Amino acid sequence: MRDTLLITGAAQRVGLYCALALQQQGYQVIISFRTRHAAVAELEAAGVICLQADLTDLVSMSRFIAEVKSHSPQLRAIIHNASDWQKDLPIAPTTASDTDLLAQLQQDAAVFDAMSHIHTRAAYLLNRALLPLLQAYVRENSEGSRSEKQGLAGGLMADIIHLTDFVASVGSEKHQAYAASKAALENLTSSLARQLAPTIKVNAIAPALLMFNEDDDEHYRKKALAKSLLGVAPGADEVLATINYLLQSRYITGRVLPLDGGRQLRLP
C-alpha cells in the first residue's frame, strides 16, 4: 500500500505543484479544495483524491475529515497549505461616530477571524482530528521489517508540516492579521512538536516570495526581487524540495525552515 499524504488547499499555485509532484513520486495524495478550479480535473486525472471542503466551516470540515478517513486508514503526513490573504482595512478617523466605530470593529474582527480560522484554527482542529491516522501509520510501519519503505517514507515517523510565511517572524504593516495568524501557526508547530515526539515530527516552512502572479508588472517584480539577497523567485519547486527534505529527515522537529533568499538580512 502506498503511503498517503494529505495536503490542504492544493488546487492552485504551490499546493497544486506539490500535489502533482508528490503523486508522481509514488505517494497517494489527498487534497482539499474550496473552489473547483480547472486544475482539479488535472489532479484527478493524475490519481490525486480531491475533496471539496471549506475549512473555516465546522460542518464542512467534519464531512471532510470523514471522507479522508474513508479513503485511508492512515496518513504518512499532513501538509497544511490552505491559506487566504486579506489586507487590513483603513483605521476610522478620530472624528468617527459611534456607528462608524462599531462598523470598524466589525470589519476588523471579520478580517482577523478569517485569517485566524484558515491559518491557525483549521490546522489545530485537523491535526487533532486526524492524529489517530498519523499514529496508525507509525504503528503499521513499526510492525515487522519495513526496510523497503525507509527511502520513501523516511522510516517509522509521521509528519505534520505547516506552511507559514516570512512575515510571521518580522510582522507586516499592511497585513497584520495575516502575519499574526501565521505566527500563531508557528507557535502551534512548537507545541505539537513537544507533544507528538518522538514518533511524529512537526515542522513549518516559511516562504517569502516564491512566484509572481501573471498580472504583476515589471516595476513590482524588480522591487520584490530586490528585497532578498539572492534576487530570484525560485518557484514552487523550492517548497517541494523542502517538503521532501523534511519527510526524509529523522532528526528535525519543532523548527521553522525559512525560504527567503536571505531576505531577513535586507531588513532595515
Question: Do the domain assignments include residue 99?
Answer: no
Q: How far apart are the C-alpha atoms of 65 and 187, rounded to whole Å?
A: 24
Question: Do the domain assignments include residue 101?
Answer: no
Beta strand segments in 34-180, E:
49-52, 77-80, 158-163
pLDDT of residue 266: 86
pLDDT of residue 149: 43
pLDDT of residue 248: 96
Are residues 261 and 228 in contact, defined by beta-carbon separation less than 8 angstroms?
yes
Are residues 27 and 4 in contact, defined by beta-carbon separation less than 8 angstroms?
yes
Which listed residue (124, 137, 178, 251) is catalytic?
A: 178
Are residues 209 and 227 in contact, defined by beta-carbon separation less than 8 angstroms?
yes
- pTM of the predicted structure, to 2 decimals: 0.93
**Omega into 198 within 30° of 0, i.e. cis?**
yes
Are residues 178 and 86 in contact, defined by beta-carbon separation less than 8 angstroms?
yes
CATH assignment at residue 123:
3.40.50.720
Question: Do the domain assignments include residue 104?
Answer: no
- Mean pLDDT (10-residue bins), the chain, 268 residues: 96 98 99 96 99 98 99 98 94 78 93 98 99 97 55 69 98 97 99 98 98 90 94 96 98 98 88
Return contacts of 101-110, CB within 8 angstroms, 24+ apart.
108/177
Residue 178 is among the residues annotated as catalytic for this protein:
yes
Q: How many CB atoms lie within 10 A of CB 265?
A: 9
Q: How far apart are the C-alpha atoms of 253 and 244, rounded to whole Å?
A: 14
Residue 10: give the domain boundaries. 4-89+117-266
Reading the block at residue 18, the C-alpha cell is 506539490
In DSSP terms, which residues pair with 203 in a beta bridge?
Answer: 161
Return contacts of 241-246, CB within 8 angstroms, 24+ apart.
242/205, 243/18, 243/22, 243/79, 243/161, 243/205, 244/25, 246/159, 246/161, 246/201, 246/203, 246/205
Instruction: Supply angle C-alpha 192, 198, 204, rounded to 5.
Output: 40
- Integer CA distances (angstroms), 144 to 140, 141, 199, 231, in order: 9, 8, 17, 49
Question: Do the domain assignments include residue 96?
Answer: no
Question: Do the domain assignments include residue 55?
Answer: yes
Instruction: Supply angle C-alpha 241, 76, 116, rounded to 5.
Output: 75
Question: Do the domain assignments include residue 110?
Answer: no
Question: Do the domain assignments include residue 22?
Answer: yes
pLDDT of residue 96: 74
Please compute Rg for the chain using Cα positions: 19
Sheet-wide strand order for 49-52: 49-52, 28-33, 4-8, 77-80, 158-163, 200-207, 256-259
Q: How many domains does the chain have?
A: 1
pLDDT of residue 142: 83
pLDDT of residue 148: 44
pLDDT of residue 100: 85
Question: Do the domain assignments include residue 109?
Answer: no
